[in-house]
Structure 1
Amino acid sequence: MASPSRPVIGITYSSTDLERFSLWRNMLHGFVEAGAVTLTIDCHQPHEDIAAVVRHLDGLVISGGADVDPLAYGADPRDPAIRDVDRARDSNEQTALRAALAAGIPVLAICRGLQLVNVTFGGTLYADLKRDLAGAVTHELREEELAWPLHTVDVTPGSRLSQWLRTSGRLAVNSEHHQGVRRLAGGLVAAAVADDGLVEGAELRDHPLVAVQWHPEILWPNEEHALRLLSGFVDACRTGQPADQSVSYSAQGDGDVR
């Protein structure tokens, strides 16, 4: 464990993404700027001791990346819209997530991370938003454009997300995803929604876990609220924040927790 002033957070990723993910450095710098010590965990290869690694952390970040295996939420694996499934990464990150929940450490899940959390708890995904969500706003631009906002979301007042952000209401966020939450899993509650109704933020009622569909770890140099979100998460890791019973929720998923 780190000193109280510099908590150690583990950040999952896939080494196969490094060459095409030119803004990876921004993510590491963002969490350092927010006050953390970072430990990267490559989830592309089988990782038998990942639960033991997580138990020594102060917090866990599940980062963005390729599509979650459609078989995990009952979708068609032959769907041509599905991209670059990495089943080893899915398995490793689900193991890491469960270990973090068991250890009681805070979790921040980003983009694919939100989708993985939702699927792990029994929710489903849109395989492709342009095709499957009527009236969808633009959610996907080129990776190099992630440094700037693309659309807005409404953050639920009283949610843990709003506490970490230190604000609620409309925020301008960046976006690079072609999938999203179709049915929010049971146990999760919506904390942010885009103008087209897509859930862009979700959290657990009884654990300091927040999942967002945008990329604050990339947006932080240009949007103050993004750095506040990273800092709110790091503060929770620093203090060993338990579930905050004062948090109020306005929506809940209807799936079954696995």
Structure 2
Amino acid sequence: MVKPVIAVTLSSRELADMVFWRRMFDGLQECGAIAFAVDCGTAPLNVAGLLEHVDGLLVSGGVDVDPALYGEDPHDPMVGPTNPIRDDNEIAAVEYACRAGFPALAICRGAQLVNAARGGTLYVDLPRDRPSDVSHRRTEEELATTAHNVDVEAGSRLAEWLGDSGRFAVNSQHHQGIRTLAPGLVATAFADDGLIEAYEATEQPLSAIQWHPEIDWPDNKASRRLLEGFVGSCQGLQPCHAASAR
């Protein structure tokens, strides 16, 4: 069977700060895909030319989304480094994927970016703007371990990939979060504090999550199932795994 080709967007300028970035490619390949990197962070890209022959798109995590995209103050002291060039390239990549009809999975920053680009809003800084007892921001090194639970909605694409709905333990490393969803998007998972942790487009094969299954997949069965489900969707296959112990 021909392996699906999946483009992974990232910024080469940020790789030095991403301890586990190689796991992202290893995980996709382990689940049956051919994955290649698209450096979105340095210059404007011809997205259509780069993605013309791919079967799927993964938008990876990284720096903060430009606050101008969701109507917040770019000079807010809680806004971290941003990269508007990366924002523009990744927005174009996601919209190309949706027009072409192949699956796209946006992770962490990617989930926030897509929502903001489509008219949704974000919390600039969760500890300040939406404090809770849930640990949403761990260190980069702690991404290999779980941080909190999420409840996945039945009937969602995410539940299909996971093989089940209900409660799952996930890792976490984000200080921003989704405040309101853009039109055409529906929430598919929530943290215990009610924060939206995942969503999907109602009319397009677009899914987004706040956690990082591409990093803890070697030790987290649910994360591996999620990656397998995404890769399978890029191949036009339904998930064939059975729900197993989480």
TM-score calculated relative to the size of structure 1: 0.90
What's the CA shift for 1:47? Answer: 3.1
What's the CA shift for 1:240? Answer: 7.6
CA distance in 2, matches of 1:150, 1:238: 31
Preserved contact between residue 106 and residue 240 of structure 1 (Cα < 8 Å): no
* Residue identity opposite 1:211 in structure 2: A
What 5-or-longer segments of structure 2 have no aligned partner? Answer: 239-246
* Residue identity opposite 2:154 in structure 1: P
- Find the counterpart in structure 1 of residue 186 from structure 2: 189
What's the CA shift for 1:135? Answer: 2.5
Quick check: 1:47 aligned with 2:44? yes
Please give the residue correspondences for 1:237-252 in structure 2 after superposition, counting only pairs within 5 Å.
Answer: 237-239=234-236
CA distance in 2, matches of 1:31, 1:168: 22
CA distance in 1, matches of 2:110, 2:68: 17
- Picking from 153, 162, 165, the partner of 2:162 is 165
CA distance in 2, matches of 1:193, 1:24: 25
- Find the counterpart in structure 1 of residue 95 from structure 2: 98
Quick check: 1:211 aligned with 2:208? yes
- Find the counterpart in structure 1 of residue 120 from structure 2: 123
- Find the counterpart in structure 2 of residue 37 from structure 1: 34
What's the CA shift for 1:17? Answer: 1.1
Please give the residue correspondences for 1:196-235 in structure 2 after superposition, counting only pairs within 5 Å.
Answer: 196-235=193-232
- Find the counterpart in structure 1 of residue 150 from structure 2: 153
- Find the counterpart in structure 1 of residue 80 from structure 2: 83
Quick check: 1:23 aligned with 2:20? yes
| Secondary structure in structure 1 of the residue aligned to 2:57 | strand
* Residue identity opposite 1:106 in structure 2: P
Quick check: 1:9 aligned with 2:14? no
TM-score calculated relative to the size of structure 2: 0.94
CA distance in 2, matches of 1:15, 1:151: 29
CA distance in 2, matches of 1:122, 1:21: 29
CA distance in 2, matches of 1:148, 1:48: 35
Preserved contact between residue 187 and residue 204 of structure 1 (Cα < 8 Å): yes
What's the CA shift for 1:121? Answer: 1.2
CA distance in 2, matches of 1:232, 1:49: 29
What are the superposed Cα offsets for residues 137-177 of structure 1, whole Å, 9 maximum, x if unpaired?
11011101101100000000110110011111010000000
The percentage of counterpart residues that share the same residue type is 52
Name segments (4+ residues, structure 1) moved above 6 Å.
none
CA distance in 2, matches of 1:214, 1:135: 17
What 5-or-longer segments of structure 1 have no aligned partner? Answer: 242-258
